[in-house]
């Protein structure tokens, strides 16, 4: 996967608030990183599901945008996430890829890993606007 330089770095203001880092975004694929910090913990001390969802949704958005030169031409219509294991410390990476790129919709999948362990798996439909 080639790296599109203008996408590498940080995401939106909300993404920066969470600490999301865009590592790669090109050719319908994206890789983002999130490092655990106290502001992301739920009441049980683990990574909040909303923060994990935001990582997934942002990675999917970057994969989608990479097909349009970085321009946002699609928005999340629905997303289903399977939360598989909790995260207490360290860093996680989300890899997202466009499965279907249609005129009206896109289907995008993503996986979140902490080293070699699967943390979450997701599939979404994006509406092309």
Other beta carbons less than 10 A from residue 71's beta carbon: 10
Q: What is the pLDDT of residues 7-36, one digit of tens each?
A: 455 668 999 999 999 999 999 999 999 999
Q: What is the pLDDT of residues 94-124, one digit of tens each?
A: 999 999 999 999 999 999 999 999 999 999 9
Q: Structural domains in the chain?
A: 9-128 (3.10.129.10)
pTM, two decimals, is: 0.92
When pLDDT is cut at 50, 70 and 90, the band that residue 5 belongs to is very low
Nearest to 126 by CA among 108, 99, 111, 103: 108
């Amino acid at each position: 996967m080639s790296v599109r330089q203008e996408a590498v770095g940080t995401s939106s203001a909300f993404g920066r608030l969470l600490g999301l880092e865009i590592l790669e975004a090109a050719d319908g694929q994206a890789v983002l990183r999130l490092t655990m910090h106290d502001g992301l913990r739920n009441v049980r001390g683990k990574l909040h599901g909303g923060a994990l969802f935001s990582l997934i949704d942002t990675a999917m958005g970057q994969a989608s945008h990479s097909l349009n030169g970085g321009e946002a031409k699609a928005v999340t219509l629905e997303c289903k996430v399977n939360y598989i294991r909790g995260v207490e410390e360290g860093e996680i990476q989300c890899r997202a890829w466009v499965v279907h790129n249609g005129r009206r919709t896109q289907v995008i999948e993503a996986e979140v890993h902490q080293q070699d362990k699967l943390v979450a798996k997701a599939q979404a439909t994006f509406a092309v606007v």
